[in-house]
Amino acid sequence: MAINKVFADCDSAVADIFDGAVIMIGGFGSWGGLPTNLIVALAKQGAGDLTVIANQGGVGFELSKKIKPGGYQDIGELYAKGQVKKFIGSVPALGGMPPTSPIETMHREGKVEIEMVPQGTLAERIRAGAGGLGGFYTPTGVGTPVEIGKEKKVMNGKEYLLELPLTADFALIKAHKADTLGNLVYRGTARCFNPVMAMAAKTTIVEVDELVQPGELDPEVVVTPHLFVSRIVEVPR
């Protein structure tokens, strides 16, 4: 019997996210490819003590007004509500633009731990987690604070760091279209981290601009197959 993956709204789709969960959140920076509605639903749901894996830590609503007229909501909502204990990613915040972003404030108060990961390494660590690999060696970060606490190996006269895989309990991602089975199509550069995160989580929740019936998507443009998708919410643009 087919599994019904379509949820009526974002609130019901994130209802079972539990305290202490590891959450991957797609998107690259600001609103492009960001599952904004799922983030807002999670902020309202209130799960705490979360570990968030994302490219950027978000700027929060007040600071976002300096970036986009009228502002927008992003991962900063979760920090503003004190729901996150640790951030793993490449760009915690956009510094130098007052007001201070929520993650900066929380980190300075000692309430959020930050693990900095070079952007390419972040993508590869997630991909390693998705593929069930034990990790990989990379020269990126050698001789910088990134190497602290990591195994180092010399191969062919060059130093490499061992980077371990990343997986998550839940992934919140954004796609342009989905069919009801869960096959996903992305839009331009909004694809970013979404496809690899979809494969690295136990439960992948996706918000889409448009939901169609099986057979309506060109299989040649499907990037994420339905196997990796657990829940779908249609949120028209």
**pLDDT, tens digit, for every residue of 180-220?**
999 999 999 889 999 999 999 999 999 999 999 999 999 99
Q: What single-letter amino acid sits at 148? A: I
> What CATH number does the domain located at 10-234 have?
3.40.1080.10
Q: How confident is the model at residue 222 (pLDDT cuts 50, 70, 90)?
A: very high
pLDDT score recorded for residue 74: 87
The 10s digit of each residue's pLDDT in 62-120 is 777 777 788 778 888 999 899 999 999 998 876 555 567 888 888 889 999 999 999 99
Q: Which of 13, 19, 2 is nearest to 173 (CA)?
A: 13
Tell me the percentage of the chain whose pLDDT exceeds 70: 96
Q: What ranges in 73-188 are assigned the alpha helix state H?
A: 76-80, 102-108, 119-131
pTM: 0.93
202, containing H or E segment: strand 201-212
Per the prediction, the chain carries an average pLDDT of 92
Task: Measure the CA–CA gap between 173 and 162, rounded to whole angstroms.
Answer: 28
Mean pLDDT over residues 233-237, rounded? 89
Task: Measure the CA–CA gap between 73 and 218, rounded to whole angstroms.
Answer: 32
pLDDT score recorded for residue 1: 43
